[in-house]
Structures are given as C-alpha cells and as structure tokens.
Chains A and B, each alone.
Chain A
C-alpha cells in the first residue's frame, strides 16, 4: 500500500522548531505573570534586609540615625505615633529632615533631623528602605517589621 507522508528528517526539524517556538511563547507569557524580583548585591533584596545594622535615638524632637553596617540605607519610613493615631512618612517628607543624603546613608554615616513636635509624639517606628535593581530599573523596598526599630518616647 502506498502511504504518503513527510520525510522523517523534515518531521524532526519541524518538531524541534515547533518545540522551540512554543517554549518561547509560553515563557514570555508566563514571565509576565510572575512577580518581578528586585535584587541588591546579586541577591533578593529581602535577604539584604537581614544585613542592615543601624542605631536610632529620639531626643528633644530630633531623630538620630547612625549606619553601623555595610548596607547603605537609601531612605527610612518613619511611623509616628501621636495622640492615639499613627502616620507613616518617608524621612525625606519631614520638614526638618533636609540633612538626609540624596543617595542615602552610607556606611559609617549619621543623620540628625526633626521629625515633628516632641510633645505630641509617643512612639516612633523606623523601617529602613533599600534601593535595588529589577528588570524595569531601580526600585525601592521597605524592610519589614522585624528589621525596623521602635522608639518609645
């Protein structure tokens, strides 16, 4: 019986090509669904939070921060507790915090600045903010609760 069909070589080539095309299509489609990773120093930025070392004090309306570690702190999120409520702001948004370096607090650097009226503040929670790299450029990341410091006034 004379059966018609493709040559095995052509079939192999077509199968390989088809496989590669499908791989590419599914890859780019699935990649868009996965959350973009932010890295710093070649590792996930969440892991870098563990290496941050800083000290913070609040005296007479002035917040003092010292970076004793090897990770530059790009910014700080300050959660201010006053009059029964809380408000979270970036350190750069406080009027008296003009001394915060534009590129962040480097190794061994220190910062002092006012973060509000001393009489009304009851508690401060300070969370370090890092800047990392993602496929879409630089991105900031706020290190979660256990990496922050709480100051009770």
Chain B
C-alpha cells in the first residue's frame, strides 16, 4: 500500500514544466535587460582636455560704455565661440549678466553669429584655431544698460561630434575672468 501511494504522486507534466521555466527565464531576462540598459555608461558631451582661451586685452570705457574684449586661443583645439557674462556689483563672486545680446556687430552677418547665448567667432565650426598665427579675436559690447561693470567671465565653447551628432560643448574648466577698470 505504501509502495502504491509512492507511485501515485501527482505533479505537473514535464513538458509543461519546461515551458514554464523557459517562459519565465525569457520574460525576466527581457525586463532586466530593458531596465539595466539605462545604467550602461555612455559617452558624455565634455570638452577636450587642453582647450584654453585667454583674455588678451579688455578695454572698458566708462564714459561711452563700450567694452572691448580681445581673446586668443592658447590651447590645443579650435574654439567655436564663447559665453560672456559680467557683473554690475563690486566684489560679486559670480558674473550673472549675459552680455551676448549687447554685442556691437559691424555687419549683419556678425550679429547672426550669436547662437543662443554663444558668440561664435565665425560661421565655421571651431574657427579660432591654435595653429593660425592670427588666432586673436576682438568683440565690442554696448554696456549702456549698466551703470558700471566690475568683472567679466568668458567660457569657451566647442562644437564636437557625439553619437554622430554635432553638439555644442561648454568648456567650463577653461573659464577665464578678468576685473574691469575704467579707461
């Protein structure tokens, strides 16, 4: 009787068991893959090390309220343009006023080279090249909206390719700043 009871065990058919195991494995693997895929590190848009831009000269006329900035490429890679910010508070740690809209353009084409807050050097990508002997660029700004400016901060910008797309990349580590004195 005991032997008969042992032989009368009930359970799932082996084939159904296999099907269920395979199904559960496939479903779990798909879900985990989709979730884990987002944690795979991807290339980030970051500025090339060795990018550097130097403020060669600033001229700030407190009477005419014209600010002229001359920059030069002192790095190893071409620079597309820059962000320029200023401060109208003496001793301020951060410059938060965007001066890009105050650019004095000698030509309509030059004014078109403002892209968002970026002031581009030309319509060509990364045109301020370190190899050029004349790798110097000057821009003037009308600062009549402000009583007095005390400092400027410039951050170079590059166009880099990432995932087959051109991206505007800020070179925050290459920020340069200069105190302004009246001429």
Contact = CB atoms under 8 A, between A and B. Distances in A.
Interface string A116-138: 00000000000000000000000
Interface in B2-58: 15, 19-20, 22-24, 26-28, 30-31, 34-35, 38-42, 44-46
A55 B34 CA distance: 35
Contact of B157 (A19, A65, A108): A108
Contact of B31 (A31, A108, A109): A31
Given A15-B15, A31-B31, A109-B98, A66 B42 contact: no
A64 B94 contact: yes
B55 to A, nearest CB: 16
A66 B89 CA distance: 16
Interface residues of B, number: 42
Nearest to A50: B44
A23 B27 contact: yes
Given A107-B168, A108-B170, A37 B38 contact: yes
24 contacts: A19-B22, A22-B20, A23-B26, A23-B27, A26-B23, A31-B31, A37-B34, A37-B35, A37-B38, A39-B38, A43-B39, A47-B39, A51-B44, A57-B93, A66-B85, A66-B94, A70-B45, A70-B46, A70-B169, A107-B157, A108-B116, A108-B155, A108-B157, A112-B96
Given A42-B42, A64-B96, A107-B157, 11 more contacts: A22-B20, A26-B23, A37-B35, A55-B94, A59-B93, A107-B116, A108-B116, A108-B118, A108-B170, A110-B96, A111-B96
